[in-house]
């Protein structure tokens, strides 16, 4: 019952957690200012950071599983660039998780970790955008390649498995 390839379905989980993490952190900072206990308020950002790091790891693992299939279509260089960005995102997600956990401490160290974790969560969006953009170019193509959608079989009226048409026109870049 799992989709094949699995990687394109999995990558949406880290995207969601990446976008929710800064909101959870800012909400927790607001709750702490309103008198909530830091441990109670900061538990949600820590949980989101853990879910983000775990889902990023699963995305990297499923990407490695599907790597050979994709490499035959888009080429090794483009795939290696995407893999490098994804690995960086995984490490950054792990680093943000560590900082978020340190935010559970009391006093000045906890306040500093919460502030740093909130800023880092916002910065992580840039790294996530870079991974997603490179993956999107692999799937939907650019002026140099048709992309995976067109290469993994055509459905009705020339559409790929996803139901989307491959991008065969030059980018407007």
Q: Quick check: is 169 in a domain?
A: no
Is residue 22 assigned to a domain? yes
pLDDT in tens, 58-112: 999 888 877 777 776 777 787 888 889 999 999 999 999 999 999 999 999 999 9
Task: DSSP letter for 162, please.
Answer: T
Lowest-confidence region among 4-18, 93-107, 131-145, 149-163? 149-163
Which residue range(s) make up the domain with 71? Answer: 7-158
Q: Does residue 28 sit within a domain?
A: yes
Which residues does residue 142 pair with via DSSP β-bridges, in sequence order? 145
More reliable by pLDDT, 93 or 147: 93
In a domain, 73, yes or no: yes
Q: Rounded distance, CA 37 to CA 119, Å? A: 21
* pLDDT of 146 above 90: no
| pLDDT for the residue 145 | 45
pTM of the entire predicted model: 0.77
Would residue 165 count as lying in a domain?
no
Q: Is 2 among the domain residues?
A: no
Task: Tell me which DSSP letter residue 142 carries.
Answer: B
Q: How many distinct structural domains can be found in the chain?
A: 1
Q: What is the CA angle 11-13-19, rounded to 5?
A: 110
With respect to residue 47, please indicate whether it lies within any of the assigned structural domains.
yes
For 11-18, what is the mean pLDDT? 92
Name the residue among 44, 19, 16, 17 with its Cα closest to residue 30: 44
73 and 120 Cβ atoms separated by less than 8 Å: no
Query: Is 79 inside a domain boundary?
Result: yes
């Amino acid at each position: 019952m799992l989709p094949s390839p699995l990687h394109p379905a999995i990558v949406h989980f880290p995207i969601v957690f990446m976008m929710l993490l800064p909101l959870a952190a800012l909400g927790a900072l607001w709750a702490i200012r309103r008198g909530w206990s830091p441990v109670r308020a900061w538990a949600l950002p820590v949980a989101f950071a853990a879910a983000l790091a775990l889902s990023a790891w699963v995305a990297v693992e499923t990407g490695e599983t599907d790597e050979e299939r994709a490499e035959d279509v888009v080429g090794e260089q483009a795939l290696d660039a995407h893999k490098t960005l994804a690995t960086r995102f995984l490490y950054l997600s792990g680093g943000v998780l560590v900082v978020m956990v340190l935010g559970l401490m009391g006093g000045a160290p906890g306040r500093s970790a919460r502030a740093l974790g909130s800023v880092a969560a916002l910065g992580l969006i840039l790294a996530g955008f870079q991974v997603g953009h490179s993956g999107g170019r692999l799937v939907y193509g650019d002026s140099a390649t048709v992309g995976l959608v067109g290469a993994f079989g055509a459905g009705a009226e020339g559409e790929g498995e996803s139901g989307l048409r491959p991008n065969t026109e030059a980018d407007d870049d």
